[in-house]
Structure 1
Amino acid sequence: MMEKQNKILVYVVTIVATLGGLLFGYDTAVISGAEKSIQAFLIDSQGLSSFLHGITVSSALIGCIIGGAISGIVSSRYGRKKALIIAGFLFLLSALGSGNPEFLFFERGTPSIGLLWMFNFYRIIGGIGVGLASAVCPMYIGEIAPAEIRGKLVSLNQFAIIFGMLVVYFVNWGIADGQSIEWINEIGWRRMFVSEAIPASIFAGLMFFMPETPRYLALQNKDEKALSILTRFNGAEKANEILVAIKKSVKTTTKGKILSYGKGVIIVGVLLSVFQQFVGINVALYYAPRIFESMGAAKDASMLQTIIMGLVNVVFTVIAILTVDKWGRKPLLITGSIGMAIGMFAISILAFQGIIGMATLVFIIIYTASFMMSWGPVCWVLISEIYPNKIRSQAIAIAVAAQWAANFFISSTYPPMMEFSSGGTYLFYGIMSVVSALFVWKMVPETKGKTLEEMERLWTK
């Protein structure tokens, strides 16, 4: 009976923490329904360039880089729990400000360069929240979860990210359904952004009632509090055993400098993050309705096709959750890379031949499904678990900042790359998929079933 109660508590805390992941997905994907209206209202109306359009669509990613970079400082100084509460309030501010960027300083409905920058400012604020949540949510879950189900629980965060994207696809479609382009360009896009305020408020409120992670408390020499939380999750006997291992790992290196365990662990984490973005997944997510419209779909149909893609993403993320602790991390990553390469190379060939239609949709779904069952959740699992306790927060901050920098580069260069060569753009993402498979095969260690404290042995040999 006790074991069951412990598991329930672990899952409850995990689910609340994954609301940060849901907001991560919601905030990054809400732009997919609004980007054409933003282009009409703030870009085309002022005769601005496609480059500025790309920057505006991707501006939240600037905040993501900042949030990822400061996540180590915030989570180390204030704790994992408070870092997530801060992220929740940033999501709320961004939602309200992005939907009404004229607040206080500008006349509503009158486009200007100043208003464009204010909109981007609020998107960057939300991006900082995303950057914090993207680093701290998997860290928080990973530091609480038992080793035997850690992969599954951290993967739930990716499920929440994808579910957040699916929710916002439905919200965007519901707002736009049956409405004129003029109404969407004037009012609809605002409601899309403001809708995020609801889950943001719920997340920030619930996190006040969640515990701090025992590993953070141990790092702060608050052993009694750490033991109390470990006991609630694992039972008294197991809790003492875990605390001894944590304290031993903390004392392994007294300085805790980022290179205490060598360059290899940092390089692997950064490259995992970079490859997760260089395969081009966020291009498919941010520009999904536009991609489907370019295939000849009507506005409403393109939104529905985006929902179909979102459902596929959810299904294949569940597959990853169910298999990551059974099959291991490396087999899933390599299999996913192969599937992504097949999808992107096929889309590239179709684009070079000028063929658009159902075949393109099928290969986009093959590509995104392959990503969602592999690199989507498993990259976050590895980033949350490969680092030793003493350097985890700083190392995750570096990896996550690198991930968002790569995301910004890929997303902001997509419009001009497509203007130059659509087939060549997708060919590049296909090549990156192949290279990512080789990287995993040669450099990434298998971590299935290992405790966080055992990870140190991978890097101290």
Structure 2
Amino acid sequence: MTSSSPPTGDISVPITRVVLVAATAALGGFLFGFDTAVINGAVSAIGEQFSTGPLLLGFSVASALIGCAIGAWFAGRIADRFGRIRVMLLAAALFVLSSLGCGLAFGIWDLSFWRVIGGLGVGAASVIAPAYIAEVSPPPYRGRLGSLQQMAIVTGIFVALLTDAAIVAAAGSSTEPWLFGLEAWRWMFLSELVPAVIYGLLALTIPESPRYLIARGELVKAKSVLSRYVGGDVEKTTTDILQTVKGASDRPRFSILRGKAFGLLPIVWVGIGLSVLQQFTGINVIFYYSTTLWQAVGFTEQDSLTITVITSVTNIVTTIVAILLIDRIGRKPLLLVGAIGQFACLAVLAVMFATAPIVDGEPVLDGAAGPIALIAANLYVVFFGASWGPVVWVLLGEMFSNRIRAVALSVAAAAQWAANFVISTTFPALAAVGLGLAYGIYTFFAFAAIFFVIRFVRETKGRTLESMDDGDRPIPTVGSGA
């Protein structure tokens, strides 16, 4: 990143300095991914340890998503009232508590409670990282730096899977006692203490958001941060920010999002739409259920686990592609290509599963059908990882005006977690009816995403955050300006 010239405009600060600050904020994304994935290796052991049935066990896994939605909903208001850094510190503390609570849980109910606590941290991190990164980044690099959030998420997922595997390898199985007599599955949760503490300590070393400082009247500090990290004409930027935060309340309320479009500002509905469509194309079915899915259609358990790891690595590689492209070709083109690609891949999967012969109640992909489905599923991850995965987070961090950014991002992120919960909990029921039906529904939403991007998404490439509009006006149509 440091060797290439800026895609648009000029900056007057060392980009390495900005990268380090953005990467620190993105550690919240790493914990976001780690926390949501680390339970994968512990599920069977938890069920055995606490003699838990599938329904209650499933709830304990999904309970974190409830906390995620709640944490996201309130994080924006807390950030506007007390600052972005304090939200990071709060999220780090919640991750620490969850790690300890889950690792030392006495039963399934208190484990579920600590999973909700961890979810609160994930929800808060999912809001504050993109908002903070957007607010301290020079416009020419804002897309790349914002994409670090998604890179951190997918890396966190990958590291969690590797950590689970390493602990099981060392202990012999997830149920066996390991260090200090604690079962291996408990150490999977306790391992999160390390990145959580690092996140909290590093958050103390980075500056507060200049937009927050200006909103609080701390102009001298804000100008110092702008000069060191954002660059450009600091006096003009300060004046522009002052204009955009006028009318912002000292006690942030959701009422500032009210508009004529079904009760909300149109731009808020666009954020909600992006968040929901990101989830409703079924990406988390691939990550949460992939091993079970591939076993169901004929692959061995070992092959299914290998495919899952390959898929995780694929997601990381394609996120790097997005980082390289997002500030060059823009957000909207990436979303459009991604939506078209996801639609095509999901349509292939829907057809493959709908036409597969049923043996013992499960579809069997005979002959070329298995490899075709495998290629389609991984190509789907390629299109998602290079577009909707990182780009949605970038847009949510920069598409809202200074006045409403944190609160609007909270609403959009909460909608995203709610959509995640819906998809994750309905997939088993849909799969019981038929995988063709499940993937047919995800195909429909990918098709809808194409037209949503064309009609409603505004390009934000190269624009300053102060030029973002939250006015209650119609969304531009195709071909209109940014």
Q: Same fold (TM over 0.5)?
A: yes
* Aligned residue among 416, 430, 433 for 2:429: 416
Q: Distance in 2 between the 1:227 and 1:267 partners?
A: 33
Q: CA deviation at 1:234?
A: 4.2
* Aligned residue among 368, 375, 379 for 2:381: 368
Q: Which residue of 2 aligns with 1:355?
A: 364
- With structure 1 as the length reference, what TM-score do the two structures score? 0.90
The one-letter code matched in structure 1 to 2:42 is A
Q: Distance in 1 between the 2:304 and 2:187 partners?
A: 19
Q: Distance in 1 between the 2:460 and 2:67 partners?
A: 31
Q: Which residue of 1 aligns with 2:196?
A: 200
Q: CA deviation at 1:459?
A: 5.9
Q: Which residue of 1 aligns with 2:95?
A: 91
Q: Which residue of 2 aligns with 1:109?
A: none
Q: Distance in 2 between the 1:94 and 1:338 partners?
A: 39
User: Is the Cα–Cα contact under 8 Å of residues 94 and 126 in structure 1 kept in the other structure?
Assistant: yes
* Aligned residue among 25, 28, 48 for 2:33: 25
Change (3 A) 1:308 1:453: same
Q: Which residue of 2 aligns with 1:246?
A: 241
Question: Do residues 117 (structure 1) and 121 (structure 2) align?
Answer: no
Change (3 A) 1:380 1:184: farther
The one-letter code matched in structure 2 to 1:278 is F
- Correspondence 1:17-96 to 2 at 5 A: 17-42=25-50, 45-46=51-52, 48=53, 50-96=54-100
Describe the SS at the equivalent of 1:101. Answer: coil
Describe the SS at the equivalent of 1:251. Answer: coil
In structure 1, the gaps of 5 or more residues are 103-114
Q: Distance in 1 between the 2:177 and 2:420 partners?
A: 28
Moved more, 356-365 or 430-439: 356-365
Deviations 1:169-214 (A, max 9, x none): 2122223348347549993322222211111111111101111010
Q: Distance in 1 between the 2:161 and 2:27 partners?
A: 17
Q: Which residue of 2 aligns with 1:128?
A: 120
- Correspondence 1:3-14 to 2 at 5 A: 6-14=14-22
Moved more, 300-309 or 405-414: 300-309
The one-letter code matched in structure 2 to 1:89 is A
Q: Distance in 2 between the 1:203 and 1:239 partners?
A: 29
User: Is the Cα–Cα contact under 8 Å of residues 66 and 131 in structure 1 kept in the other structure?
Assistant: yes
The one-letter code matched in structure 2 to 1:312 is T
- Correspondence 1:182-193 to 2 at 5 A: 183=176, 187-193=183-189
* Aligned residue among 388, 391, 396 for 1:378: 391
Q: CA deviation at 1:144?
A: 0.4
Moved more, 30-39 or 368-377: 30-39
Q: CA deviation at 1:229?
A: 0.9
* Aligned residue among 121, 138, 147 for 1:146: 138
Q: CA deviation at 1:308?
A: 1.1
Describe the SS at the equivalent of 2:465. Answer: coil
User: Is the Cα–Cα contact under 8 Å of residues 41 and 174 in structure 2 kept in the other structure?
Assistant: no
User: Is the Cα–Cα contact under 8 Å of residues 25 and 161 in structure 1 kept in the other structure?
Assistant: yes
Q: Distance in 1 between the 2:298 and 2:164 partners?
A: 20
Moved more, 373-382 or 341-350: 341-350
User: Is the Cα–Cα contact under 8 Å of residues 13 and 227 in structure 2 kept in the other structure?
Assistant: no
Describe the SS at the equivalent of 2:108. Answer: helix
Deviations 1:286-331 (A, max 9, x none): 2233233334444444333222111100111111111111111111
Q: Which residue of 2 aligns with 1:432?
A: 445
Moved more, 442-451 or 184-193: 184-193
- Correspondence 1:379-394 to 2 at 5 A: 379-394=392-407
Describe the SS at the equivalent of 2:228. Answer: helix
Q: RMSD of aligned C-alpha atoms?
A: 2.5
User: Is the Cα–Cα contact under 8 Å of residues 25 and 165 in structure 1 kept in the other structure?
Assistant: yes
Change (3 A) 1:441 1:5: closer
Q: Distance in 2 between the 1:181 and 1:153 partners?
A: 37
Q: CA deviation at 1:460?
A: 5.6
Question: Do residues 101 (structure 1) and 105 (structure 2) align?
Answer: yes
Question: Across the two proteins, how many residue pairs are aligned to each other?
Answer: 444
Q: Which residue of 1 aligns with 2:6?
A: none
User: Is the Cα–Cα contact under 8 Å of residues 265 and 471 in structure 2 kept in the other structure?
Assistant: no
Describe the SS at the equivalent of 1:389. Answer: coil
Q: CA deviation at 1:457?
A: 7.6
Question: Do residues 176 (structure 1) and 184 (structure 2) align?
Answer: no
Change (3 A) 1:457 1:259: closer
In structure 2, the gaps of 5 or more residues are 3-9, 357-362, 475-482
Change (3 A) 1:94 1:182: closer
The one-letter code matched in structure 2 to 1:77 is R
* Aligned residue among 325, 337, 346 for 2:327: 325
Deviations 1:91-129 (A, max 9, x none): 111112212211xxxxxxxxxxxx222111111111000
Q: Distance in 1 between the 2:331 and 2:55 partners?
A: 37
Q: Which residue of 2 aligns with 1:106?
A: none
* Aligned residue among 456, 459, 475 for 1:443: 456
User: Is the Cα–Cα contact under 8 Å of residues 28 and 286 in structure 1 kept in the other structure?
Assistant: no
Q: CA deviation at 1:3?
A: 6.2
User: Is the Cα–Cα contact under 8 Å of residues 266 and 473 in structure 2 kept in the other structure?
Assistant: no
Q: Distance in 2 between the 1:449 and 1:263 partners?
A: 23
Q: What is the identity percentage for the equivalent residue pairs of Structure 1 and Structure 2?
A: 39
User: Is the Cα–Cα contact under 8 Å of residues 351 and 422 in structure 1 kept in the other structure?
Assistant: yes
The one-letter code matched in structure 2 to 1:168 is A
User: Is the Cα–Cα contact under 8 Å of residues 177 and 183 in structure 2 kept in the other structure?
Assistant: yes
The one-letter code matched in structure 2 to 1:323 is L
Q: CA deviation at 1:274?
A: 0.8
Moved more, 247-256 or 55-64: 247-256
Q: Which residue of 1 aligns with 2:221?
A: 225
Q: Which residue of 1 aligns with 2:258?
A: 259
Q: CA deviation at 1:53?
A: 3.9
Change (3 A) 1:33 1:426: farther
Describe the SS at the equivalent of 2:183. Answer: helix
Change (3 A) 1:78 1:390: same
The one-letter code matched in structure 2 to 1:454 is S
Q: CA deviation at 1:337?
A: 1.3
Q: Which residue of 1 aligns with 2:158?
A: 166
